[in-house]
Amino acid sequence: MDLDNNHDNENPHLAVKLPEIATNIVTFLPKSDLISCTLINSAWEQEARKRLLFLSHFILDAENVAHHQEISSVRGNSARNIGVVEFPNLSREGPCGNFISTHGHKVNRLETRLLPPDVTWPQYFETLSNSFPNLTSVVLLIDNLDNTDSPQNRVFFPKVKNLAIYTPWNFMKPQEILSTQLAPLFPNLVTLFCQRIRQSVVESFLHFSPNVTSLILINVPLFDPIRENTVKLTRLEIGHDYIHTLLPAGLTAMLKMSSGTLETLSLARVENIDPSKVRNDKRLLVCFPILPKLRVFEIVHNDFSTKLEGKVSPQATPAINLKFEKGSAQTKLPYAEQFPVLETLRFWKGASSRKEKLTEQEFFEGVVSFLYNSFLHSTNTPCESLRDLAIPLKEDRDEKFKVFDVSESAESKEVDVQGGFEWKNVGEFLDRLDDVFPNLVHLYKVEDEKELGTE
């Protein structure tokens, strides 16, 4: 036995590599598999527990804080991802002071409210900095901007890379304080998520944190394109679910500005609209520049129906019309020139609504109609780079469905002129997928809703 570790083989023993292997593998496993990994051996258990703590979100309140204090003290189970929206005092003297004193420095992600009642702006951020010194992700629910005195000694959060800020739907107070006082506190952001935040506030965050590469904008009216530090974006998610015509104009310009770096694009909260409206409304047109690095494109559109002249319409398709820079009258989408490295297309169902919902059949017809008018258009060249496709699917190849044409008048094809659609069967659709995506590896059936801001 060589006790001096003078091995002829330069490769270390498997036991030495195992922790590194486990660390890499657990990042790809769902929670159910991670729980199983805790039973393999101590090395797998340690790495699986770390990942589970990262994925688990604990909401602290007056009733459970003692319980979380107890379980976080066992076998290194300290919570990394917590929410404390109910506590007005986040200091170590507050109601969750014991938990913060013991575990606050281990917390990486915090969800909380800005500002708690009767707490001034300087007090709030000084407490946040002292109680949670190692935060890398912060989620702020903004429902109170009273008592926002300018900080005397401004506290910065240089370790925070990911910031999400929300306001409730009925929040009507001025947001200028967010531009002047909040934005400068986060100079090193990589990901910025904004929901119901004014465009000027978003631009302030991008000004003070110029290295943002992932930008998610939900219900942020874009009256003009955001130009501040968007040329380096690698991920853009954007959506507006109650004024659909506010999306496209700003989006077209932003795509052009970030075209050289963009790798992931998500159009979220896309409304449904009568197909004839898409064809005739130029405000719904989005012009795509060449995106040489785009690998993932997804659309998340709502599953509720549209109303036409006060009546619910069973005919619906996403309220967006795509045009491609390299397209022509002969070829709508030449994939190799327009999206040379595109690997993944996803068409998700958005969050459920209390409005009149589309049936499963209507939702399927809306998505497939959109595909036939864009990514599966009859003149498209094959996309040899695509590997993964997630869409609504039907299993019966003989089942018929409607395809609504939004690019041509109904009279130009053999279609049901009164309804403006063409009948196809599922077999034709699946054959079309094979023709356009010849190297497809994974075809997923979309059933679940897509959570905003997730990959």
Q: Does a structural domain hold residue 201? A: no
Averaged pLDDT, 361-365: 87
Distance CA(55)–CA(80), nearest Å, equals: 9
User: Quick one: 148 and 235 in the same domain?
Assistant: no
Q: Would 99 be classed as within a structural domain?
A: yes
- Clarify whether residues 37 and 151 are in a common domain: no
Whether residues 146 and 226 fall in one domain: no
Any domain includes 67? yes
| SS3 track for the chain | CCCCCCCCCCCCCHHHHHHHHHHHHHCCCCHHHHHHHCCCCHHHHHHHHHHHHHHCCEECCCCCHHHHHHHCCCCCCCCCEEECCCCCCCCCCCCCHHHHHHHHHHCCEEEEEECCCCCCHHHHHHHHHHHCCCCCEEEEEECCCCCCCCCCCCCCCCCCCEEEEECCCCCCCCCHHHHHHHHHHCCCCCEEEEECCCHHHHHHHHHHCCCCCEEEEECCCCCCCCCCCCCCCCEEEEECCCCHHHCHHHHHHHHHHCCCCCCEEEEEEECEECHHHHHHCHHHEEEECCCCCCCEEEEEECCECEEECCEEECCCEECCEEEECCCCCCCCCCHHHHCCCCCEEEEEECCCCCCCECCHHHHHHHHHHHHHCCCCCCCCCCCCCCCEEEECCCCCCCCEEEEECCCCCHHHCCCECCCCEEEEEHHHHHHHHHHHCCCCCEEEECCCECCCCCC
Q: Tokens 């709030």 identify what position? A: 124
pLDDT tens, residue by residue, 210-246: 999 999 999 888 878 898 889 999 999 998 876 666 6
Does a structural domain hold residue 107?
yes
Residue 397's closest CA among 432, 366, 362, 370?
Answer: 432
Full-model pTM: 0.81
Query: Same domain for 315 and 265?
Result: yes
Q: Are residues 66 and 176 in the same domain?
A: yes
Q: Each residue of 317-352: pLDDT tens digit?
A: 888 889 999 999 899 999 999 999 999 999 988 766
Domain boundary among 9, 36, 55: 55
Q: Taking all residues of the chain, what is their mean pLDDT, rounded to a whole number?
A: 79
| 434 located within any domain | yes
253 plus 117 within the same structural domain: no
Average pLDDT over residues 355-369: 84
User: Is 202 a member of any domain?
Assistant: no
Residue 248 in domain: yes
Structurally, the chain folds into a number of domains equal to 3
What is the structure's pLDDT at 435? 96
**Do residues 356 and 431 both lie within one domain?**
yes
**Structural domain harbouring 339:** 213-455
**Residue 390 backbone zone (phi > 0: left; psi -120 to 50: alpha; other: beta):** beta
pLDDT score of 1 more than 50:
no
Confidence of residue 192 (pLDDT cuts 50, 70, 90): very high
